[in-house]
Amino acid sequence: MHKYGDVIVPIGPQHPALKEPESFLITLRGEKITASSVRLGYNHRGIEKACEERTYTQGVYLIERVCGICSHSHSTAFVQAVEEIAGVEIPARAKYIRTLIAELERIHSHLLWLGVAGHEIGFDTLLMYTWRDREVVMDLLAKLTGNRVNYGINTIGGVRRDVSVKQKEEVLKAIDTLEKQTKYYIDLATKETTLLKRLQGVGVLSHEDAISLGAVGPTGRASGIARDTRKDDPYAAYGELDFKVISVDNCDVYGRTLVRLGELIESFSLVRQVIAKIPDGPITVRVPRKIPAGEVLSRYEAPRGEDVHYVRSNGTEKPDRVKVRAPTLANVQSVSKMLEDRYLADMPIVIAAIDPCFSCTDRLIALRDTQTKKSNTVIWETIRLKGIEWYKQQGVDFTALNKKLSKKLHL
Amino acid sequence: MGMISKIINWSRLKSPWVLHFNTGACNACDIEIIAALTPSYDLERFGVVLKATPRHADVLLCSGPVTKQIESRLVRIYEQMPEPKFVVAIGSCACSGGVFNGCYNVAGGINSVIPVSAYIPGCPASPKAIIDGVVKLLRSLETKERKSGGKK
């Protein structure tokens, strides 16, 4: 038996290892973590409600500010949803420009992550190196869109800026530089003992746990879930482009590093394909101010994983309801699993490995019973059953298919 | 004014230690603050060093509108900083609440909670603007010190 009891250490909302205000309660026995819980909400601003008070066009710029790292992801997911409700098909050139910006954003986000991961393991040289290279892509984004972050390139019905021939050349040149540097980082990550010792076997999330906890993006792909919205449900120009979904079976922080580095190389190839294939033509179509009634769920593969936006319109120029499900919300549950039985010193890198973005995550849902006025919690199983019921009413029945699948997966 | 406090003042101007605190920002300004400290902009050449705790910091860099959740924490962090202390509001949201002004969970700009010495606008404030703002703040302190003959 242990001589001493467990100690609860509060970490955050202001903490050197966390760049954002969030709070973790870590239960320790000696140096080992026995349990942990996350407290979200410090960043909750009420964007979803604010969207309902603004027109669709104003909403694009507000939604963009859900997150300052994957701002293009949120705005694209939102405009895609609105365009689908309105029944508008955007020009092919606009689709390609959206894809170009999306991939450049992925490059900047993954380079940023690599630097942050370096910082969290006490390897600040890596932070300085990657962030120096990241400025190449930031300059490129500034030239193409007019701003370093919060690009404002999306509008309902297309994009706001065209890409000139000269800009295309600049993009290709910058991509060459970045590819050379990324290859150096891949070499570093696979050979440098400091990195290997610090990343391998840390923050393990098994394949089964990743599925049951609903991990998305690089976190899921590092645990062998080869899922990528760009491939599974192509949007923008991804259906016409050729790329691989990177997934590995390492299940640890090292695996997540490999996935992100691999995705960087894929992104460079995607950018080159976009530049080669981009068709001529207009970049916007006119969309009426009033959007007809309807509801749409829009999916988008953000650098951190699948980003889901739900938009419901009621026939006016303002949305009736906007719901954002950011990738970090799907991944944050897996953190407590990864931290179990690990040392406290591994906590920063394990949290950083899911590339958390808490400004994306802090959306609030409070369910209240209309009769008793009491708030109640809905468990995952209830939502799942409700979903199955809803689809059955629509005439879609997956029961037979599910049985087949469970036999195949030996569940 | 004694020799020691003169040295302390000189070192404060030559090497201000900063603390970064996200009060509900969208991350854009925070990333730009870090970008300003990395090689291509290199704020460290002015002696600016990012510190981990409010007790070591001279300057508090705040980004984002103040959400109601974080309000009491911001005041607590401000109170933990040793005198003299300065607050820099980075980004449009920190200056006035920006696009989030009027949201139900937003208290407003940083100045609605704690006193602010310098405002750096922009959405997000670019690293160049942040460097400009910090250098201007240091200059203003330098001239103030000269005018008062080294007295506070």
Whole-complex ipTM: 0.88
Cis peptide preceding A327, ω within 30 of 0:
no
CB-CB neighbors (< 8 A) of B26 in chain A: 65-68, 71, 150, 359
Instruction: Determine whether the interchain pair A128/B126 forms a contact, defined as Cβ–Cβ distance below 8 Å.
Output: no
pLDDT at res. A184: 93
Residue with tokens 């933990």: B80
Determine contact, residues B22/B28, Cβ cutoff 8 Å: no
Tokens of A357: 């973005």
What are the CA-CA distances from residue A363 to residues A366, B67, B98 (Å)? Answer: 10, 13, 19
CB-CB neighbors (< 8 A) of B104 in chain A: 46, 49
- Rg value, chain A, Cα: 22
What are the CA-CA distances from residue A93 to residues A75, A158, A275, A298, A378 (Å)? Answer: 18, 9, 11, 21, 44
pLDDT at res. A364: 65
Instruction: Determine whether the interchain pair B39/A50 forms a contact, defined as Cβ–Cβ distance below 8 Å.
Output: no
Q: Measure the CA–CA gap between A261 and A248, rounded to whole angstroms.
A: 12
Q: Using CB atoms, which residue from A21, A43, A150 is nearest to B123?
A: A150
Q: What residue of B is the nearest CA neighbor of A64?
A: B26
Q: Using CB atoms, which residue from A19, A62, A69 is nearest to B22?
A: A19
* Average pLDDT along chain A, 411 residues, taken 10 residues at a time: 72 78 86 85 86 91 89 93 92 94 94 91 90 92 91 92 93 94 91 89 90 90 91 90 92 92 94 94 92 92 92 91 89 87 87 85 68 69 81 80 76 55
Instruction: Determine whether the interchain pair A41/B39 forms a contact, defined as Cβ–Cβ distance below 8 Å.
Output: no
For residue A384, how many other CB atoms are within 10 A of its CB? 10
CB-CB neighbors (< 8 A) of B123 in chain A: 65, 147, 150
Domain positions in chain B are: 3-147
Q: Using CB atoms, which residue from A49, A68, A147 is nearest to B104?
A: A49
| One pLDDT digit (tens) per residue for chain B, 152 residues | 678 877 877 777 888 889 999 988 888 898 999 899 888 898 888 888 888 888 989 899 999 899 888 888 899 999 999 888 899 999 999 999 888 888 888 888 999 999 999 999 998 899 999 989 988 888 887 776 655 544 43
A131 in contact with B, Cβ within 8 Å: yes
A148 in contact with B, Cβ within 8 Å: yes
Tokens of B94: 């920190």
pLDDT at res. A375: 66
Q: Measure the CA–CA gap between A23 and A14, rounded to whole angstroms.
A: 8
pLDDT at res. A243: 93
Mutation for testing the A interface, residue in B43, B63, B105, B110 having most A CBs under 10 Å: B105
Determine contact, residues A281/A131, Cβ cutoff 8 Å: no
Determine contact, residues B117/B132, Cβ cutoff 8 Å: no
pLDDT at res. A354: 87
Domains of chain A (ranges plus CATH)? 7-39 (no CATH), 47-361 (1.10.645.10), 366-411 (no CATH)
| Nearest-10 Cα torsion for A247, A248, A251, A253 | -90
User: How do B59-63 and B17-22 pair as beta strands?
Assistant: parallel
pLDDT at res. A13: 83
Which has the closest alpha carbon to B23: B128, B97, B82, B86? B97
CB-CB neighbors (< 8 A) of B99 in chain A: 61-62, 65
Q: Measure the CA–CA gap between B62 and B40, rounded to whole angstroms.
A: 22
Instruction: Determine whether the interchain pair B38/A150 forms a contact, defined as Cβ–Cβ distance below 8 Å.
Output: no
A322 in contact with B, Cβ within 8 Å: no
CB-CB neighbors (< 8 A) of B28 in chain A: 65, 68-69, 71, 149-150
CB-CB neighbors (< 8 A) of B40 in chain A: 131-132, 135
Mutation for testing the A interface, residue in B23, B66, B76, B99 having most A CBs under 10 Å: B99
Class of CATH domain B3-147: alpha beta
Determine contact, residues A56/A291, Cβ cutoff 8 Å: yes
Instruction: Determine whether the interchain pair B124/A46 forms a contact, defined as Cβ–Cβ distance below 8 Å.
Output: no
pLDDT at res. B151: 43
Which has the closest alpha carbon to A126: A261, A237, A270, A220? A261
For chains A and B, CB pairs below 8 A equal 116
Q: Using CB atoms, which residue from A21, A61, A147 is nearest to B70?
A: A21
How many CA atoms are closer than 13 Å to the CA of B44, on its beta-carbon side?
A: 11
Q: Using CB atoms, which residue from A42, A66, A147 is nearest to B26?
A: A66
